[in-house]
């Protein structure tokens, strides 16, 4: 496991672990938590991709930043990572893979990769986190899910089904841990202007910026919210979509 430790000046906030830390949303989250003086553990498959951001955060905010090369799909690596950073009492699962629906529908291996990256591996990792935080009696688990999981649509049902499973998992985890001192927050960003969506024609009113997602997560944590749509307009939209009768929905192009 490749890693580069940061200097350790200490931070008044608890340590925050961000999985999938090279994404634009994760980078915005790292800045927001560093600004609030939390030490950070940032993971990605290639630790070297995090080095520049990590050094900037250390210099700009004077916080500890550890970067770790970590493959979420390597299930045997989950427990050792958590063993190394027991001080991480806030864990944010940003890792995910949109994939391409036509390719996923035609290729079992690609569909499996999308499902494993968005549901199986994140759920198993956060399940291990939950067990540890439950014993500790405190902590916060934050999962980045998707509006795509609210109802299966032809345009992205492989990805959407995985996010639906992840949303249900987080809901059950929240129910289990509610009386144990551990918070579980589900985040549904909707469209976000990132490298992943570059080139897509996204409606401006429905499209958030990465920093906006980070602010919404920090606010949800402070306000004790359980499930958030980053832009509130997504709540009525997805409610209406969910209420459309199946006989009509199956004829819609979504």
Write out the catalytic residue numbers. Answer: 159
Find the Cα–Cα–Cα–Cα dihedral 233, 194, 171, 182, rounded to 10°.
-110
Select from 19, 22, 31, 37 the least CA-distant residue to 211. Answer: 31
What are φ and ψ of residue 181, in 5° steps? 85, 10
Residue showing tokens 């672990």: 17
List the structure tokens of 141. 């688990």
Indicate the length of the chain as a whole number: 254
- For 69, residues 6+ apart whose C-beta sits below 8 A from its C-beta are 1, 2, 3, 43, 44, 45, 46, 47, 48
Distance CA 44, CA 221 (A): 24
**Cα 112 to Cα 119: distance, rounded to the nearest angstrom:** 10
Are 111 and 117 in contact, with CB atoms under 8 Å apart? no
The closest alpha carbon to 157, from 240, 229, 249, 254, belongs to: 254
Q: Maximum distance among all alpha carbons in the chain?
A: 60
């Amino acid at each position: 496991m490749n890693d580069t430790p940061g200097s350790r000046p200490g931070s008044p906030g608890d340590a925050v672990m961000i999985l999938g830390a090279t994404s634009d949303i994760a980078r915005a989250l790292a800045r927001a938590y560093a600004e609030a003086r939390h030490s950070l553990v940032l993971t990605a498959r290639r630790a070297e991709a995090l080095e520049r951001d990590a050094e900037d955060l250390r210099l700009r905010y004077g916080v500890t930043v550890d970067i770790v090369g970590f493959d979420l799909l390597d299930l045997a690596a989950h427990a050792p990572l958590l063993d190394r950073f027991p001080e991480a009492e806030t864990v944010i699962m940003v890792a995910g893979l949109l994939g391409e629906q036509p390719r996923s529908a035609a290729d079992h291996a690609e569909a499996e990769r999308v499902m494993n990256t968005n549901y199986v591996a994140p759920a198993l990792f956060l399940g291990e986190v939950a067990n540890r935080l439950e014993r500790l009696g405190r902590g916060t688990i934050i999962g980045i899910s998707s509006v795509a999981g609210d109802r299966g649509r032809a345009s992205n049902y492989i990805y959407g089904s995985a996010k639906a499973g992840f949303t249900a998992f987080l809901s059950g985890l929240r129910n289990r841990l509610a009386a144990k001192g551990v918070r579980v927050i589900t985040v549904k960003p909707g469209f976000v202007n990132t490298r992943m969506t570059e080139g897509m024609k996204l409606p401006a009113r429905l499209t958030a910026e990465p920093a906006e997602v980070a602010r919404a997560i920090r606010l949800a944590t402070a306000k004790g919210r359980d499930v958030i749509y980053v832009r509130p307009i997504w709540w009525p939209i997805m409610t209406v979509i969910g209420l459309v009768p199946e006989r009509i929905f199956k004829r819609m192009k979504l």
